[in-house]
């Protein structure tokens, strides 16, 4: 912050304002008043949780352009699922302000929402056949569902 005040770092107020508004408009659209709170099942509980605010805003902002092309309800469901996960909860509570825990929380959001995931059919001779288009934007939960359906249809075990 001081570096900006002393002119050591360029700060484009107009660009930063646009980015801020774009992010918070998006979060308001998909999560509404439940954007930065804890969840129990699909229901928001409690008040603003700073650790959730930091993780959701930074994690979503880093991949916002890709997320804007996905179904809002899928993104909403995925964020709710992520903030209820053990890997996310392991990085809140005591020591949540440490850089490591903050980075881990942001990583949980980014990894869980990363829309560039693919399904491959691995053959016995170690070939990998892509079952989704390369770079097709899919949420992890969608891929998991498709993989389960495919393994049941083919009557083969699902691995990793």
Q: What are the residue boundaries of the structural domains of the chain, listed by start? A: 2-113, 120-154
pLDDT-based confidence at residue 2 (cuts at 50, 70, 90): confident
User: Strands, E, within the chain: which ranges?
Assistant: 38-40, 43-45, 120-122, 128-130
Q: Judging by DSSP bridges, how do beta strands 120-122 and 38-40 pair with one another? A: unpaired
CA–centroid distance for 65 within its chain: 12
Each residue's pLDDT tens digit, 9-61: 888 999 999 999 999 999 999 998 888 888 888 788 888 888 999 999 999 99
Share of the chain above pLDDT 70, in %: 89
Each residue's pLDDT tens digit, 73-95: 989 999 999 998 899 999 998 98
What is the per-residue pLDDT for 26? 96
CA–centroid distance for 95 within its chain: 22
pLDDT at residue 135 is higher than 60 = no
| Residue 52, Cβ density class (10 Å: 0-12 exposed, 13-18 middle, ≥19 buried) | buried
Q: 81-100 burial, b if ≥16 CB within 10 A, otherwise e? A: bbbeeeebeebbeeebeeee
CA-based end-to-end distance of the chain: 44
List the one residue out of 87, 83, 70 whose CA is nearest residue 139.
70
List the one residue out of 107, 54, 118, 114 whose CA is nearest residue 85.
107
Share of the chain above pLDDT 90, in %: 32
Mean pLDDT to the nearest integer, 2-6 = 84
Token pair belonging to 143: 């891929």
More confident site: 65 or 147: 65
Answer whether 0.75 is exceeded by the pTM. no
List the one residue out of 82, 63, 83, 51 whose CA is nearest residue 22.
63
Each residue's pLDDT tens digit, 94-131: 988 899 999 999 999 998 887 556 667 777 787 777 77
pLDDT-based confidence at residue 132 (cuts at 50, 70, 90): low
CA distance 89 to 98: 14
């Amino acid at each position: 912050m001081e570096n900006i005040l002393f002119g050591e770092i360029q700060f484009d107020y107009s660009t930063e304002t646009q980015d801020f508004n774009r992010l918070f408009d998006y979060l308001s659209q998909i999560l509404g008043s439940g954007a930065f709170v804890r969840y129990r099942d699909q229901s928001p509980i409690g008040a603003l949780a700073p650790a959730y605010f930091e993780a959701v805003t930074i994690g979503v902002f880093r991949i916002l352009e890709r997320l804007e092309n996905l179904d809002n309800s899928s993104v909403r469901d995925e964020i709710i699922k992520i903030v209820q996960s053990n890997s996310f909860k392991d990085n809140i509570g005591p020591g949540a302000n440490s850089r490591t825990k903050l980075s881990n929380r942001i990583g949980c959001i980014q990894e869980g929402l990363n829309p560039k995931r693919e399904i491959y059919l691995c053959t016995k001779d170690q070939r990998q056949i892509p079952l989704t288009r390369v770079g097709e934007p899919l949420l992890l939960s969608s891929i998991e569902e498709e993989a389960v359906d495919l393994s049941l249809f083919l009557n083969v075990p699902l691995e990793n």
